[in-house]
């Protein structure tokens, strides 16, 4: 007996046909781009599983709501203020309201996100908030989606807006090494599933290698975007007889604040004993004592650019596939600069 079609997801089809989710999506939207073998396998599996693409969502998407959604796994931190501001300004100028909700990437395809084709004309998706499966299904339904701080999955031409992470991180660590002689640099890691975090860590490692400094996994702290968790991780690191270090590169400014707090609790001075640097240049960075050296990421511009791409999609135009905005290191006192 075949399962009812509404419980079958595009991932089920891909698994049984032994192809990727993106390949199934391509078959649904552009079948002529696939080989006869793959097209035949997918067609047969869809028939066996009684799989029907998201026609309901496709229909709903033709009924305008005047609303664009923003989906994120959190909106707790100062980082999101400028992002939302950039999104909202562009939307209001074009007659749309912004609807914001938090959710987590689904393990399967059965949990409906709070914002989607059922209540919005399009959705801006922050980082890894949605699974690749869900993105493929929305793409299949011709539902407008723009990704921010995340690249599109392979073979899914979904527009994305990112900031440059790796080169800026390289320059930051290079500055610590060359200008301030800080060669034992701790890296406070954000969640590994974050694309930004991945490239920032790559920049950190590349700078060490370029200056003939061996990578020491003992100088990596497994952090989190929550300040309390990062502070505790740093406190634990300091309490466990850590290897010598004289600088910390935190993956974002929120983490940097937690690091500074933990160092000060331990009687260490910033930057005299330990230099601390961050990433994002949030509004509070220059207000800290000492003021935080960080990488300026144009977060509000990310929001504006994302909405420009979304408005193109809503107007039936072709959006830019991948936009990467430049970043810049801002030198302040926390690294030892005057």
DSSP, residue by residue, 139-178: HHTT--EEEESSPPPTT----EEEE--HHHHHHHHHHHHH
Structural domains in the chain?
A: 5-53 (1.10.260.40), 57-163+299-321 (3.40.50.2300), 166-278 (3.40.50.2300)
Sheet of strand 247-250: strand arrangement: 220-222, 185-189, 247-250, 275-277
Contact call for residues 144 and 121 (beta carbons, < 8 A): yes
* Residues of the chain where predicted confidence (pLDDT) is lower than 50: 1-6, 55-61, 109
Residue 195's alpha-carbon distances to 91, 147, 168, 328, 338, in angstroms, are 26, 12, 15, 19, 32
pLDDT (tens digit per residue) in 65-114: 899 999 998 888 788 899 999 999 889 888 999 999 998 876 554 567 89
Q: Using CA atoms, how far apart are residues 305 and 3, in angstroms rounded to an integer?
A: 42
By three-state DSSP, how is residue 94 classified?
coil
Residue 223 is predicted with a pLDDT of 65
Backbone angles phi, psi at 330, to 5 degrees: -115, 115
**Nearest C-alpha neighbor of 279 from the set 313, 259, 256:** 256
The total of other beta-carbon atoms located within 10 Å of residue 260's CB is: 24
Report CA torsion sign: 206, 211, 216, 221: negative
Residue 89 is predicted with a pLDDT of 87
Residue 54 is predicted with a pLDDT of 62
Confidence (pTM) = 0.81
User: Which letter does DSSP use for residue 121 in this model?
Assistant: S
Residue 106 is predicted with a pLDDT of 64
Residue 222 is predicted with a pLDDT of 83
Q: Using CA atoms, how far apart are residues 314 and 225, in angstroms rounded to an integer?
A: 33
Q: Classify residue 1 by burial, with Cβ atoms within 10 Å: 0-12, 13-18, 19+.
A: exposed
Residue 171 is predicted with a pLDDT of 98
Residue 70 is predicted with a pLDDT of 97
∠ CA 67-71-77, nearest 5°, is 120
User: Which letter does DSSP use for residue 292 in this model?
Assistant: P
Please tell me the chain's helix, strand, coil percentages from 3-state DSSP, rounded to the nearest 5.
Answer: 45, 15, 40
Residue 5 is predicted with a pLDDT of 43
**Nearest C-alpha neighbor of 71 from the set 98, 101, 97, 96:** 101
∠ CA 111-117-119, nearest 5°, is 95
Residue 287 is predicted with a pLDDT of 96
Contact call for residues 146 and 309 (beta carbons, < 8 A): yes
In which element (H, E) is residue 70 found?
strand 67-72
pLDDT (tens digit per residue) in 297-331: 999 999 999 999 999 999 999 999 999 999 999 99
Contact call for residues 302 and 296 (beta carbons, < 8 A): no
């Amino acid at each position: 007996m075949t399962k009812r079609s509404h419980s079958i997801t595009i991932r089920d089809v891909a698994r049984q046909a032994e192809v990727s989710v993106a390949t199934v999506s391509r078959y649904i939207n552009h079948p002529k781009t696939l080989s006869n073998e793959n097209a035949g396998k997918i067609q047969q599996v869809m028939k066996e599983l009684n799989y029907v693409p998201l026609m309901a969502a496709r229909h709903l998407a033709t009924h305008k709501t005047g609303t664009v959604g923003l989906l994120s796994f959190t909106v707790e931190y100062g980082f999101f203020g400028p992002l939302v501001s950039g999104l909202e300004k562009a939307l209001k100028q074009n007659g749309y309201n912004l609807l914001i909700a938090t959710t987590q990437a689904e393990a399967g395809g059965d949990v409906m996100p709070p914002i989607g084709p059922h209540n919005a004309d399009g959705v801006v998706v922050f980082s890894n908030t949605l699974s690749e499966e869900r993105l493929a299904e929305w793409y299949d339904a011709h539902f407008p989606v723009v990704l921010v701080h995340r690249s599109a999955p392979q073979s899914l031409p979904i527009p994305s807006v990112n900031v440059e992470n790796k080169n800026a991180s390289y320059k930051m660590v290079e500055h610590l090494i060359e200008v301030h002689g800080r060669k034992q640099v701790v890296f406070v890691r954000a969640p590994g599933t974050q694309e930004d975090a991945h490239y920032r860590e790559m920049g950190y490692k590349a700078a060490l290698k370029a200056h003939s400094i061996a990578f020491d996994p003992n100088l990596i702290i497994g952090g989190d975007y929550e300040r309390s968790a990062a502070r505790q991780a740093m406190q634990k690191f300091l309490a466990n007889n850590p290897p010598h270090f004289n600088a910390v590169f935190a993956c974002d400014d929120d983490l940097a604040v937690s690091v500074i707090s933990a160092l000060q609790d331990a009687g260490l001075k910033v930057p005299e004993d330990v230099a601390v640097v961050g990433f994002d240049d949030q509004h509070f960075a220059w207000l800290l004592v000492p003021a935080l050296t960080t990488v300026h990421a144009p977060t509000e511009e990310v929001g504006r650019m994302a909405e420009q791409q979304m408005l193109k999609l809503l107007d039936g135009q072709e959006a830019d596939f991948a936009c990467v905005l430049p970043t810049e290191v801002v030198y302040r006192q926390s690294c030892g600069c005057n």
